Amino acid sequence: MSISIPRPEFPRPDFERQEWLNLNGEWDFEFDDNNIGETEGWYKAGEIDFSRKITVPFCYQCEMSGINDKSLHEIMWYRRTFNIPESFKNRRVLLNFGAVDYHARVWINGNFAGEHKGGYVQFKFDITNYVKETDNVIVVRVEDRYDTVQPRGKQYWKEKPDRCWYIATSGIWQTVWLEAVGEVNIERIRLTPDIDKRCVTGELHLDREAENLFMEVSIDYKGKNIVRMNSSIKDRITKFAVCLKEEDSVDEIHYWTPETPNLYDVQLTIKQNGKTLDSVKTYFGMRKISVCGDKILLNNKPLYQKLILDQGYWPESLLTPPSDEAIKFDIEMTKKMGFNGARKHQKIEDPRYYYWADKLGLLVWGEMPSAYNFNAEEIENITREWIDFINRDYNHPCIITWVPLNESWGVRNIYTDKNQQNFALALYYIAKAVDGTRLVSTNDGWENVKSDFCSIHDYVAWGDEFIEKYEDKSILYELNNSGRMLFAQGYKYEGQPVIITEYGGIAFESSDREAWGYHEAVKDVQSFLNRYSGITDAIRKTKYIRGYCYTQLTDVMQEINGLLTADRKLKVPLDEIRKINK
């Protein structure tokens, strides 16, 4: 891909095809504040001139889009032309959107191709029947209202950012691309490692059934082939298992850990009568996460989690990473500071973040963005996208925990409301049904129901205060924190691992009256280090606690409690942070 195209890299290294076309770059753009576009036929090719240009995949609210308009526009239209590459000839054409917030409707050459609701996950349409060789026109209408029943995370539902909520990201905000596939194609591959049996099980999903189909699976480790397997395909969904036997392995396989992020490369090809229909490259890591009593185990060994809360915002591009290098920088900086993981807070991240975390070795908690108004529509919206999130990112070894709810957001009465408790339980059990290999922190922070952790958010200012509060473990049966009980009514601590999943949030003094952190701001570096080290040391001295998550990696708009500024400059010496986490 040309380096002039923004975000030119393939967007899904965990599901990679060779034949593809990046549609990022300049698109025609128009706001539709009066909602007249469909009535006037804006989706028809060449009939309406759009007055603006936008750079995809950046939202209109950010600088990198070329528009940089922070005001509310609930409906927006995109349009561009494209040609079908010669290599796509006699192949089916899939149109992919990495993420569009929130409700997208798509037309190709005036033909309605489909629609999708949900702001954070990938979707696609087969547009084969609508395209021609050249001068194809794609039109996208997006509706993104200040609506609190749609999962929005930290995107504020008012125009001016406030407290820990920020400017919204509307419309296309991840890569748009085409792929060429055969008459039958691969929809999904699920790979489940089992380190105890030294094998990996697979689940191949095709878009349709067909006769005389065969599957070829090739697994490599660092360029050396480990396994080749051929099998016939009888059903649209086919399961298979592969044992890993390596000549150079004496007594163990190549595990994935933050220190040794070993990955196995997989090429999966489907053929019909000797002809290749589709081929996808993916990978997996031999990694197991489990709970034993009050301990968390990684590959059957005790794990102490040192996490950073990371909200994934950039001042010039908001939720969209400005470049692949920017993603990699954040992960590398996190590791350099001595953290072994990140809690991706209130955001389903760009898939390339999880790829770099897999490759560089960083544990990740995958968190569902919150909605904020409990009703039947919120339940439907969250549940649909929750399942899509888990399915999309199932193969990433870096992800060890799923978080469906945070601090009772969207379920404000969960302490006593049985309907809200049941919704939280449903999200827990859905995660376990879709992915039984990972842990779940159901309502992270307080008012816990059924959960694999006892997660606590506590922004106590000083270490001695923390020790006084938590030294006696019996506090877990009665804790009232931030005006909220630790467990919802009818639930209690049952001996599961305890993690402080939010703490710190220390800000430096600022002349900006809107800027804030937790407790009194510090005046200088030494004051910061005294407070930060005091609280962190106190957590680590509390023997029953199995990890922590510091708030936060970077400043985000008015919330200035990051270890880095919003433009990724260190506030305190890197070595000092690393020393505290060591």
Q: Where are the domains of the chain?
A: 20-181, 186-284, 289-581
Query: pLDDT tens, 177-200?
Result: 999 999 999 999 999 999 999 999
Mean residue pLDDT across the chain: 95
Q: What pLDDT was estimated at residue 2? A: 45
As a whole number of angstroms, the distance between CA 476 and CA 497 comes to 11
Does the pLDDT at position 166 exceed 90? no
Arithmetic mean of pLDDT, 287-307: 98
Task: Calculate ∠ Cα 234-237-242, nearest 5°.
Answer: 85
pLDDT recorded at residue 249: 55
pLDDT value at residue 247: 55
CB neighbour list of residue 50: distance below 8 Å, 6 or more residues apart: 28, 29, 30, 42, 77, 79
pLDDT of 1 over the 50 cut = no
pLDDT per residue as tens digits for the range 117-149: 999 999 999 999 999 999 999 999 999 999 999
pLDDT value for 160: 76
What percent of the chain lies above the pLDDT cut of 70? 97
Convert the pLDDT of each residue in 338-379 to its tens digit. Answer: 999 999 999 999 999 999 999 999 999 999 999 999 999 999
* pLDDT on residue 520: 84
460 Cβ neighbours under 8 A, 6+ residues apart = 466, 469, 503, 535
Instruction: Say which residues have a Cβ less than 8 Å from residue 223's Cβ, sequence separation at least 6.
Output: none
Indicate the pLDDT class of residue 45, thresholds 50, 70 and 90.
Answer: confident
Cα–Cα dist 560/350, whole Å: 23
Q: What confidence tens digit (pLDDT) does each residue in 440-460 have?
A: 999 999 999 999 999 999 999
Give exposure, 261-289, as e/b (b: 16+ Cβ within 10 Å).
bbbbbbbbbbbbeeeebbbbbbbbbbbbb
Q: What is the pLDDT of residue 251?
A: 55
Radius of gyration of the chain (CA): 24
Q: Which two tokens stand for residue 384?
A: 């649909």
Residue 9 has pLDDT above 50, yes or no: yes
- Terminal alpha carbon distance of the chain: 41
Q: 20-181: which CATH topology? A: Jelly Rolls (2.60.120)
Average pLDDT over residues 381-391: 98
DSSP for residue 306: E
Q: Cβ atoms within 10 A of the Cβ of 247, count?
A: 6
For 258: left if phi > 0, alpha if psi spans -120 to 50, otherwise beta; the answer is alpha
Q: With 70 as the cut, is the pLDDT of residue 150 above it? A: yes
Q: Which pLDDT band, with edges at 50, 70 and 90, does 537 fall under?
A: very high
Q: Which CATH superfamily is domain 186-284 in?
A: Immunoglobulins (2.60.40.10)
CATH value of 289-581 in 3.30.2020.30, 3.30.230.10, 3.20.20.80, 2.40.30.10:
3.20.20.80
Task: Output the pLDDT for position 3.
Answer: 52
Q: For 69-88, what is the mean pLDDT? A: 96
Q: What is the per-residue pLDDT for 414?
A: 98
Residue 515: is its pLDDT beyond 90?
no
pLDDT score recorded for residue 514: 67
